[in-house]
Amino acid sequence: MSMIQDRVEAGHGAAGGLSERVRSLRLPRESERGGGRGAWVPWTLCLVFAASTAALAFLLWGREPAEARATASPDIPKEPPPASAGSATASSGNIVLDSKGYIVPVRQILVSPKISGMIVKSFILEGRRVTKGDVLAELEDVDYKADCQRAQATLELARHRLSEIETNRPKEVGAAEAELEEARAQLAQTSSEFERCKELFKSRTAISQQEYELAESKYLAQQQRVKRLEYALQLMESSRLKRIAAAQAEVRQAEAELAKAQWRLENCTIRAPISGTILKKNAEEGNIVNPIAFNGSFSLCDLADLSDLEVELTIQERDIAKVRVNQKCQVRAEAFPDRVYEGVVSRLMPIADRAKGAIPVRVKVTVPREEEGVYLKPEMGALVSFLNDKK
């Protein structure tokens, strides 16, 4: 009995030890972890992040350029910043509208070759200023020189033919006239002989029928010869004028062919059509150019006069009433906001842009000669302030 009790007590003791070990492995409750000492940490981090974000936004807003805020609210007039030294003097007056556009040249030309050929020399360089007539490139001219020489030879041949007709044809006419006079003289002689034979034949003395008929045939033949020579002389005189006219036409045709060949030869040298600055280079030495294959759209370079610039803008329809032709403006390039240039509204385009709900406007900019191509360049962004210059 005592042994059974000992075993039961031992079993209870083992079960109690197992229970104690299981309780030791359980996670402590909130109340048992020190009363929630770390519960405020996430909320503190959130407050710090929000405060730093607000401070950063305030700093960025403070650094925003004045021009951008003026563009965002164009109805609020503002005074332009003072111009730096060397900049243009701004027009006086209140600003009624600010808008952003892009600088474009008034005259931008695609310098294209008029003939096809291979470029053997190129003097095209981006940024180079050229004067009207300066050589930009040279094409291979072997074929064109040969065409010019052949046309020159054809012209000389036509001129020789014309000279021959004009010089020798009168002599031929003179020879025909002399032959006609000879035939007329012979006709008079045969006519006299025929009359004598006719009288003798009527008297039936010293002449036979055969001799009479022979004299008559000689007379009639001579008459026909005279008529033939007269017709030949008339034909020669009339055809002489026509042959001279035909020879003169051949000369003019040869001259036209020569002029065309010379024009092609001269166009092997490509020259600047206007004075300006080379904006873009589109071909190199060794390239074969053929304007016919490109339908005239191929160009060796882009050339523009950078002293004659405009700003291309699109004004919203709600603001177009504030803009008119010849209205004074102030123009600033976004790259050089401290430099102010005088401008004037040159034209309002006759058609609106339906997609943008705006009307294209062009503002002509006055660029000093010494600043041509220095600060204002095509396709640069520009801010335009339209002034209220009404009296």
Please state, in angstroms and rounded to a whole number, the distance separating the CA atoms of residues 21 and 187.
Answer: 169
Strands 276-281 and 328-333: unpaired
What is the pLDDT at residue 4? Answer: 47
What is the pLDDT at residue 28? Answer: 54
Paired tokens of 116: 């096809």
What is the pLDDT at residue 154? Answer: 94
Find where tokens 């055969």 sit.
210
Q: How many residues are given for the chain? A: 391
CB count within 10 Å of CB 127 equals 9
Average pLDDT of adjacent 10-residue blocks, the chain of 391 residues: 48 53 54 51 74 73 48 42 39 78 92 90 92 94 94 94 79 77 82 78 72 81 85 77 87 95 94 92 88 67 92 94 93 93 94 92 92 90 89 55
List, for residues 265-312, the tens digit of each pLDDT value: 999 999 999 999 999 998 889 888 887 765 545 788 999 999 899 999
List, for residues 18-69, the tens digit of each pLDDT value: 556 655 555 455 444 444 455 566 677 777 777 778 777 766 665 544 444 4
What is the pLDDT at residue 15? Answer: 47
Please state, in angstroms and rounded to a whole number, the distance separating the CA atoms of residues 335 and 339.
Answer: 9
Please state, in angstroms and rounded to a whole number, the distance separating the CA atoms of residues 139 and 26.
Answer: 95
Find where tokens 């405009």 sit.
310
Paired tokens of 207: 């002449």
Task: List, as one string, the DSSP characters of 132-187.
Answer: TT-EEEEE--HHHHHHHHHHHHHHHHHHHHHHHHHHHHHHHHHHHHHHHHHHHHHH
Name residue 90's beta-bridge partners: none
What is the pLDDT at residue 75? Answer: 42
Please state, in angstroms and rounded to a whole number, the distance separating the CA atoms of residues 63 and 377.
Answer: 27
Task: List all residues 6 or more positions away from 123 whose beta carbon is below 8 Å from its beta carbon.
Answer: 134, 135, 136, 137
Please state, in angstroms and rounded to a whole number, the distance separating the CA atoms of residues 15 and 196.
Answer: 189
Find where tokens 């709600």 sit.
318
In a 3-state reduction of DSSP, which class is residue 262? helix
CB–CB of 327/91 below 8 Å?
Answer: no
In a 3-state reduction of DSSP, which class is residue 62? helix
What is the pLDDT at residue 205? Answer: 64
What is the pLDDT at residue 8? Answer: 43
Strands 358-365 and 336-348: antiparallel
Residue 64, exposed/middle/buried by CB under 10 A (0-12, 13-18, 19+)?
A: exposed
CB–CB of 155/211 below 8 Å?
Answer: no
Task: List, as one string, the DSSP characters of 58-115.
Answer: HHHHHHS-HHHHHHHSTTS--PPPPP-TTSPPPPPSEEEEEEEEEEEES-EEEE--SS
Please state, in angstroms and rounded to a whole number, the distance separating the CA atoms of residues 362 and 98.
Answer: 14
Which domains does the chain possess? Answer: 66-106+305-388 (2.40.30.170), 109-140+268-301 (2.40.50.100), 143-266 (1.10.287.620)
